[in-house]
Amino acid sequence: MTSSKLFTNEFQQKIRSAFKVLNALNEKQPQQIIHLLKEEPNINALTISERLETTPIVIQKHLVSLHTARLLKVQEKEDQAFFSLDRDRLARISLIVKGFART
């Protein structure tokens, strides 16, 4: 018995990537982090947790999720990580979402 794939590997990879993005944005706090980073790029996790009035552990969890979805850029300085948005990726995602909205 032969098996055939319904979708190509490339398409499956795109679906996995889209799932990571949607999963990362599925909660209120990641959305708040994105809005904060729009206003204040290149800030660390402690500053983010202070601005959003939540614990660093919770923020770190969301930062990992956003980074895994490739929505963040991370710059290491000494012993700290500073986060900013990957604006190019967010712009591409926005175009895709707008395309879905039109259909």
Q: Give the per-residue pLDDT at 98.
A: 78
Domain boundaries defined on the chain: 12-102
pLDDT tens for 27-63 read 899 999 999 999 999 999 999 999 999 999 999 999 9
Least confident of 13-17, 34-38, 70-74, 86-90: 13-17
Q: Give the per-residue pLDDT at 2.
A: 53
Nearest by Cα to 86 from 49, 40, 38, 32: 38
**Cβ proximity of 45 and 60 under 8 Å:** yes
**Cβ proximity of 21 and 71 under 8 Å:** yes
3-state secondary structure at position 84: strand
pLDDT tens for 67-81 read 988 999 999 999 999
Answer with the residue of higher pLDDT: 32 or 26: 32
Q: What is the pTM of this model?
A: 0.78
CATH class belonging to 12-102: mainly alpha
